[in-house]
Each structure stands twice: as structure tokens, then as C-alpha cells.
């Protein structure tokens, strides 16, 4: 997922002609002061932390300044913040706008409908999750004809806009749709969209580029820091592999059993560090690759929890045993296994021959994994 900072989102807004306040990015208090003394940003202005988390307004990460001195104080204050765990390194300064009303507009993907959805609300400026459903207008958009004129008119009505402001919204929505499509976005959100006189100005920008289209956007390569190097390799090999902070590895098949296994480990005081979802993999080579990747994450212990349905237990066991022979001795870890279901007996036999016992109940498995990770014997 490529989540763009506000200023990057606004660069896209500018490219597509969505109206914005005059602004500039600064990376130090000196730069912030220069932004206003040079006239690039008019006073009074807004100084905003460029972090990915929302709720900056409430959290003191959006401040107003009337003079260059106030800009310095605001910039220094915000640059010293660690906002929801993220150090503030960049600021966006913009001329302050006199807001008549704050609206909410976004285009997102409705995954259950498998369609884009246009969301509009007259209650902007607060998180959309906290807005009463009755105050939110949602329209699914057929992507082939694109956002239609009648849909744009309905949004204007929902926002209580008429005359020139409704016309401004129409043009803005055309641009927003263009951006959403051409930039492969899965979310483009303007909150607040400010009503200023007869016009509209986007005061905030949240843009997320669809993960599966990210390869078409090398321009974001250097800000894609949301995947660990191992997760990157896993992605290339089409292996579902996620790294967390803990020290116990989990190998399971299917999202449900994987999550349940993580929960059970937590329940017994364990700390899952990495998990691998084999899904319906029925290819021993892929199981081997996945297991080797797991080894590289250096877990203290690994809990294997397989329910053989589509995946046969013996296939998984074969892949695992093959992989175990390839893991260097220095990187070996205690393996606690639970395999049940299709071809269970054969699978257990293959594992036993390789020195891995399969424990039938998950509770004992989890306790053994937690003990092993803590340095005890599995
Ligand atoms: P968020 O809280 O992280 O979503 O940050 P926003 O960019 O949405 O800013 C939070 C709030 O600051 C907005 O809802 C506005 O009420 C206020 N704000 C931002 N820019 C301006 C501005 O130019 N003028 C005024 N009056 N308020 C602003
Ligand atoms: Mn906002």
C-alpha cells in the first residue's frame, strides 16, 4: 500500500486542477520561516505536520500562525513532535483560508461491491467514521462510463450546494475521478473540502495508491517503506508472509486458521513474530521456499498449524522436511507441529521420520511454542 503524505497528494490535486491554498513544504523551522518571508506562502498561514496518521488537527499537529515569529514557533513545536509513533520530518505551510463550511468528499473502492464508490457528506472536518450514516451519501460508480453527470449532481445536492458552488463541485468531481483512475488510487479523500465564498478549496488530501498497481508508479519507489525486505521477497514469490514484532513464527494454511493460531499464541503469553499463510498451496517446492523464508526471519520457535483440506498434510510435510535439510544448522529453530485432516497419517509419519512430533491439540502446541521461544524445551 502506498499511502501518500498530504503534500504528495496535493501535488496530484494540482496536476488534475483541484483547487488548493497556496503552499510550500519545509523540512526545518528556518525553511518554514523562509516560506512566508519569501512570499511563497501568505500570512496568516497554517503549519501542518506531514505524517501519515490522521487526526492531526485535534492532536496539535496543525497550527496557525499570523507572523513569521509564530511560524517559527509552530514549526519548531511540530517538528519536535512524535505524532502517533511517527517522527515529524516535513511540514506543509499553506495560506489560511476563511472557511464557510467543511465538507467531505472521497472516491474509494467498495471491495464487497467490487466498484468505486463516491462518498459525500456535509459534515466534513471530522473523521468520516464518526459521522452519522444518515448524513453520508454513497453512490457506487460504474467504472466504464465513469462518474456520470447525474451522480455529480446528486453529490452536490447531498452536500447542500447550489449555483456556482455546485458547478465548482461538478468540475472538482470530474478531476477527482480522473485522478482516481489514472493514478491507480484506491482512495482519494478530501476532508475538509472547504466552501469559501462561491468556490471550493481542498484543505486536506489523502491518497492511497492501489498496491497491485504500484509497479506502474516508480515515482513512489522510495517512499514504499511499508514492507520489510523479507516481505518484499515473499511478495515476488507470491507467498503470503507478514512480519510482526514478536519471536514466534506461525505457518498455517488459510487466513482464518492463521489468525486463530496467532490469537491462541497470544492467549498463552506468546508473541508471534512472523506468519506465513500457505493458503491452498499443494506444491512442495513452494512450501520449501516459504519455510526457508521463515527461517531467514530468525524465529525462536515455529508453530506449524495445518488443516488438510485442499492442501494435503503429506504434501506440506514433504515440503517442510525438504526445507529443513536446507536450513543451515546455525539457523535451525524448534518446530512444533499440528497437522490434521486430509492425509493426516501420512503427513505425521513423514514428520516423525524427520524428528518432528505432531501434537494434536492446539493448546499444547501453543504452550510448547511459547516455552521454546522463551528458551525452554519444546
Ligand atoms: P487532519 O486532522 O489530520 O485530517 O488534518 P486537516 O488537514 O484535515 O486539518 C484539520 C483541521 O484544521 C481542518 O478540519 C480545519 O478545520 C482546520 N484547517 C486546516 N486548514 C485550515 C485553513 O486554511 N483555515 C482554517 N480556518 N482552518 C483550517
Ligand atoms: Mn483531514
Q: What is the pLDDT of residues 216-243, one digit of tens each?
A: 998 888 776 667 778 888 888 888 898 8
Average pLDDT, the chain: 92
User: Residue 108: which of 97, 121, 95, 96 has the closest Cα?
Assistant: 121
CA terminus-to-terminus distance, the chain: 37
**What percentage of the chain exceeds 70 in pLDDT?**
98
3 has a pLDDT exceeding 70: yes
Distance 196 CA to ligand 2 centre (A): 17
Q: For the residues 288-298, what does the mean pLDDT come to?
A: 87
**Residue 341 CB–ligand 1 contact under 6 Å:** no
Give the three-class secondary structure for 246: coil
**Residue 102 CB–ligand 1 contact under 6 Å:** yes
149 Cβ contact partners less than 8 Å away, ≥ 6 residues apart: 170
Atom 3 in ligand 1: residue holding the nearest Cα = 56
Distance 110 CA to ligand 2 centre (A): 21
Q: Tell me whether residue 347 is exposed, middle or buried, using C-beta atoms within 10 angstroms of its C-beta: 0 to 12, 13 to 18, 19 or more.
A: buried
Q: For the residues 114-128, what does the mean pLDDT come to?
A: 96
Which of 102, 151, 189, 289 is flagged as catalytic? 189
In what helix (H) or strand (E) does residue 348 lie, and over which residues does it extend?
Answer: helix 344-353
Chain segment 178-219, per-residue pLDDT in tens: 999 999 999 999 999 999 999 999 999 999 999 889 889 988
Which of 104, 151, 186, 289 is flagged as catalytic? 104
* Helices vs. strands in the chain: H and E counts, helices first: 11, 18
To the query of whether residue 189 is one of the catalytic residues in this protein, the response is yes
Distance 367 CA to ligand 2 centre (A): 45
**Residue 55 CB–ligand 1 contact under 6 Å:** yes
Chain segment 162-176, per-residue pLDDT in tens: 999 999 999 999 999
Distance 71 CA to ligand 2 centre (A): 21
Atom 20 in ligand 1: residue holding the nearest Cα = 203
Distance CA 335, CA 323 (A): 12
Which residue spans within the chain are E strands per DSSP? 2-4, 23-26, 45-49, 62-65, 82-83, 86-87, 91-95, 101-110, 115-121, 136-140, 185-196, 199-202, 206-209, 240-243, 248-252, 272-277, 301-308, 335-341
Higher pLDDT, 312 or 145: 145
378 has a pLDDT exceeding 50: no
Length of the chain, in residues: 378
To the query of whether residue 104 is one of the catalytic residues in this protein, the response is yes
User: What pLDDT, on a 0 to 100 scale, did the predictor assign at position 324?
Assistant: 86
Distance CA 230, CA 243 (A): 8
What radius of gyration, in Å, describes the C-alpha atoms of the chain?
A: 26
User: What pLDDT, on a 0 to 100 scale, did the predictor assign at position 153?
Assistant: 98
Q: For the residues 268-285, what does the mean pLDDT come to?
A: 85
Chain segment 55-110, per-residue pLDDT in tens: 899 999 999 999 999 999 999 999 999 887 788 999 999 999 999 999 999 999 99
C-alpha cell at 160: 447542500
Strand-by-strand arrangement of the 240-243 sheet: 240-243, 272-277, 248-252, 301-308, 335-341
User: What pLDDT, on a 0 to 100 scale, did the predictor assign at position 85?
Assistant: 74
Number of Cα atoms under 13 Å in the Cβ half of residue 265: 31
Give the count of beta carbons closer than 10 Å to the beta carbon of residue 19: 17
Q: Which ligand has the nearest atom to the CA of 83?
A: 1
**Residue 56 CB–ligand 1 contact under 6 Å:** yes
Amino acid at each position: 500500500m502506498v499511502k501518500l503524505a498530504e503534500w504528495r497528494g496535493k501535488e496530484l490535486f494540482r496536476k488534475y486542477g483541484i483547487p488548493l491554498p497556496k503552499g510550500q513544504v519545509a523540512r526545518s523551522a528556518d525553511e518554514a520561516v523562509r516560506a512566508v518571508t519569501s512570499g511563497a506562502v501568505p500570512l496568516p498561514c497554517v503549519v501542518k505536520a506531514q505524517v501519515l496518521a490522521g487526526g492531526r488537527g485535534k492532536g496539535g499537529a496543525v497550527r496557525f500562525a499570523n507572523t513569521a515569529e509564530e511560524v517559527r514557533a509552530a514549526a519548531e513545536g511540530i517538528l519536535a513532535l512524535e505524532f502517533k509513533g511517527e517522527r515529524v520530518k516535513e511540514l506543509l505551510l499553506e495560506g489560511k483560508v476563511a472557511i464557510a463550511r467543511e465538507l467531505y468528499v472521497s472516491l474509494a473502492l467498495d471491495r464487497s461491491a467490487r466498484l468505486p464508490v463516491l462518498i459525500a457528506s456535509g459534515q466534513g472536518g471530522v473523521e468520516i467514521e464518526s459521522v452519522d450514516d444518515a448524513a453520508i451519501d454513497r453512490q457506487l460508480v460504474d467504472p466504464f462510463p465513469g462518474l456520470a453527470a447525474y451522480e455529480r449532481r446528486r453529490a452536490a445536492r447531498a452536500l447542500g450546494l447550489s449555483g456556482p458552488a455546485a458547478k465548482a463541485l461538478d468540475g472538482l468531481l470530474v478531476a477527482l475521478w480522473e485522478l482516481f483512475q489514472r493514478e491507480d488510487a484506491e482512495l482519494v479523500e478530501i476532508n475538509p473540502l472547504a466552501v469559501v465564498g462561491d468556490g471550493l478549496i481542498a484543505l486536506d488530501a489523502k491518497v492511497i495508491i492501489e498496491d497491485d498497481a504500484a509497479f506502474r508508479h516508480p515515482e513512489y519507489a522510495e517512499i514504499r517503506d511499508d514492507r520489510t525486505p523479507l516481505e518484499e521477497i515473499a511478495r515476488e514469490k507470491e507467498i503470503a508472509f507478514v512480519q510482526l514484532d514478536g519471536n514466534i513464527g506461525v505457518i498455517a494454511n488459510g487466513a482464518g486458521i492463521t489468525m486463530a493460531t496467532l490469537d491462541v499464541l497470544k492467549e498463552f503469553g506468546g508473541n508471534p513474530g512472523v506468519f506465513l499463510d500457505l493458503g491452498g498451496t499443494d506444491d512442495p517446492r513452494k512450501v520449501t521456499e516459504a519455510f526457508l523464508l521463515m527461517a531467514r526471519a530468525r524465529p525462536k520457535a515455529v508453530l506449524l498449524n495445518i488443516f488438510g483440506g485442499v492442501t494435503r498434510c503429506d504434501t506440506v510435510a514433504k515440503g517442510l522436511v525438504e526445507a529443513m535439510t536446507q536450513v543451515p544448522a546455525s539457523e535451525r529453530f524448534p518446530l512444533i507441529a499440528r497437522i490434521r485432516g486430509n492425509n493426516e497419517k501420512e503427513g505425521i509419519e513423514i514428520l516423525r521420520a524427520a524428528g518432528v512430533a505432531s501434537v494434536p491439540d492446539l493448546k499444547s502446541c501453543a504452550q510448547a511454542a511459547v516455552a521454546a521461544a522463551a528458551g525452554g524445551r519444546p
